[in-house]
Chain A
Amino acid sequence: MQLRNLSSGSRQLSLFEHYINDIVRGKWFIAYTVLLFALIYAVLMFSFETSQAVVGVMNLVIFIVPAVGLFFTSMYYYSRREFMEFILSQPVSRTFVYFSFYLAMSLAMIFSFILGVSVPMFIQGFAPEAIKMSLWGVLLNMIFVAISLMVSVLADDRVRGLGTVLLLWFFFTIFYDAVLTAVIIYFRDYPIEKFIPFVIAINPVDDFRISTLLSTDIAAMLGYSGAVIKHFFGRFFGVLYVAFLQSLWVLIPFLVGLWRFRKKDF
C-alpha cells in the first residue's frame, strides 16, 4: 500500500473543482446568466439618468438574485444529496465538503451576477455604479446561498426545504416591506426611527438596497429606513454598519448549516 502525501488543501481543491464544473455546465445556470443579462440590458436601454439606471437594476436584482440563490442552491443540494454519501465515504472532512459546496455555489452565483448585471452596466456607461453594485451583489449572493444551504441541511425532506426557501423569499422581498410600512404608519406618532437600525437587520434584501443607494449616493430613493440610517450614522458609517449586518447574514447561516452538517446522518 503506497500512500502519497496529499494535503487537505489539494483534496479540497479537487472537490471544489468538481462542484464548480458541475454547477456551471448546468443548463439552468447558463439560462439564468443569459436571462439576467438580457433583462438588465433592457432596463438600462431605457434609463437615461444614473439614478434611474441604478434604481431600475436594483429593483430587478432584489427580486431575482435572492430567488435564484435560494432555489438553485436548495435544488442542487437535494439533487446531490445521495452523491454526498459517496463523497463523505472518501477520506475528506465534513467541514471541507460543506465549505467546497458553499464556495462553489457562491462563486457560480457571483459569476452569473457579474456577467448578467455588472457587464451590461459597464457596456451602457455606468462603470462606477457597476463596481459598487458588484461589491454589494457579491454579499447578496453569498447571503442567499448560505441561507439556502442552511435550510437544506436542516430539512431532510426536499418538499419542506423548498417550501421553507419559498416562504423566506416571500418574507424578505414582499411581506417585510408591507409589514414595515404598516408599522411606520401605525406608530407614526412615536419615535420609531430609533429602532430602524435594529429593524433593518432582519432583512438582508433591505440591507442590499440601503448599501447600494448609500454608496451610490442616490439619497432621493433611499426610502424611510435608508434615510434614517443615513441620518443616524452618516453616509460612510451607514455603509459600514449595513456591510457589517450583511457579513453577519453570511456568517450566521453558514455556521448554523455547518454545525448541523457535521452532526448529520447520511
Chain B
Amino acid sequence: MIKVENLKKRFGKLQVLHGVSFDTEDGKCTAIMGPNASGKTTTIKSILGLVVPDEGTITVNGMDVRKGFQYRNLIGYMPQIPTFPENITPRELINLTIKLRSYEKNYSEELIGLFEIEEHLDKPFSALSGGTRQKVNAVLAFMFDVPILILDEPTVGLDPVSSRKLKNLIKERKSRGVDVIITSHIVSEIEQLADDMVFLLEGQVIFEGPVKEAIEQTQGEDLEDAIAKLIQRQQAA
C-alpha cells in the first residue's frame, strides 16, 4: 500500500506538484491520469525516490521513502520508454537486476518465454526494436514476486498480442493481491485494468476514487467523456 500526503515539488520557478495526496490499495489497480505536464511522472518518481520532494510524505507498506532504499525491493518498476545502454544485452541487464534484488526466486525464464524474446537475449540493445526493448522492460518489472508494481505507459510500443499478454499479466498479479499503479494515455486500457483513478491537473488531484464513480459523478458516457468533464469543471471553477 502506498500513501502519498501533501506532496509538493518545484523545479526552478515551476511548481510541479501542489500538495498531492492519495492512497493505493493492495489487490487493486490505481491509474494515475492527467494531461501532459500534470505531474504524473514526478509523482511516480517521488515514490521511487528518484525525485526528492520539497514537502510531504510518502510511505510504501508503512516505510517512509526518505528514510532508506530497502523499500524499493518491494517495487517492480516499468519506466516509460527506457533508455538502456546500447552496448549491453538483455541477458546482462536481467542478471544485473537479479543481483541487485533480494529475491530467492525469479520468473525471468517464464516471462522471456511468454514475450518470446529468447533469440534477442544476447544481442546488444542497439540491435533491438522499440517493441523488444519494451518487452525486456516488462520482464525486468514482473520477474520478482513483488507486492507493488509501478507501470509507466506499459503498453507503449508493444504489438497487440504482446500488449494483451501484458494486460493479462497485470490482471493476474492484481488478483494475487499486488498493488498496481499505472499511468497511460490510452483510456480504453485504463477502463480494462484500473479499479481506482487519481486524476492530476496542473499538479493537483482533482479526482480520487473508483473509476465508475468518476463516470457517475460527472454523468459522463464513458471514462473519456468523464475525464473531459472533470477538466472542464476544474477550469470553470
Interface size for A (C-beta < 8 A) is 32
Given contacts A2-B105, A265-B51, A266-B51, contact A91 B100 (CB under 8 A): yes
B34 interface contact, C-beta 8 A: no
Assess the B147–A1 pair: CB atoms within 8 A.
yes
Assess the B145–A1 pair: CB atoms within 8 A.
yes
B79 interface contact, C-beta 8 A: yes
Closest-CB distance, B141 to chain A (whole angstroms): 10
Q: Which of A14-22, A56-64, A120-128, A147-155 participates in binding chain B?
A: A14-22
B82 interface contact, C-beta 8 A: yes
B171 interface contact, C-beta 8 A: no
Complex CA gap A218/B176 in Å reads: 74
Closest to B84 in A: A83
Closest to B47 in A: A89
A to B contact number (C-beta, < 8 Å)? 84
Closest to B104 in A: A2
B129 interface contact, C-beta 8 A: no
The residues in A between 63 and 105 inclusive whose CB is less than 8 angstroms from any CB of B are 79-80, 82-83, 85-94
- Which residues of A have CB within 8 Å of B107? none
The residues in A between 180 and 224 inclusive whose CB is less than 8 angstroms from any CB of B are none
- Bin the interface of chain B by size: 20 to 34
Assess the B87–A25 pair: CB atoms within 8 A.
yes
Closest-CB distance, A214 to chain B (whole angstroms): 42
Assess the B145–A91 pair: CB atoms within 8 A.
no
- Which residues of A have CB within 8 Å of B73? 3, 91
Closest to B81 in A: A82
B70 interface contact, C-beta 8 A: yes
Complex CA gap A79/B145 in Å reads: 31
Q: Which of A4-12, A30-38, A44-52, A239-247 participates in binding chain B?
A: A4-12
Complex CA gap A237/B101 in Å reads: 48
Given contacts A22-B88, A83-B84, contact A3 B99 (CB under 8 A): no
Complex CA gap A18/B102 in Å reads: 18
- Which residues of B have CB within 8 Å of A91? 69-73, 100-102
B146 interface contact, C-beta 8 A: yes
B75 interface contact, C-beta 8 A: yes
- Residues of chain A touching chain B, judged by Cβ–Cβ distance below 8 Å, are 1-6, 10-11, 14-15, 18, 22, 25-26, 79-80, 82-83, 85-94, 263-266
Seed contacts A1-B147, A14-B100, A89-B48; 6 additional CB < 8 Å A-B pairs = A3-B102, A82-B83, A85-B45, A92-B69, A264-B52, A265-B50
Which 4 A-B residue pairs are closest in the complex by CB-CB distance? Answer: A14-B99, A82-B83, A2-B104, A91-B73
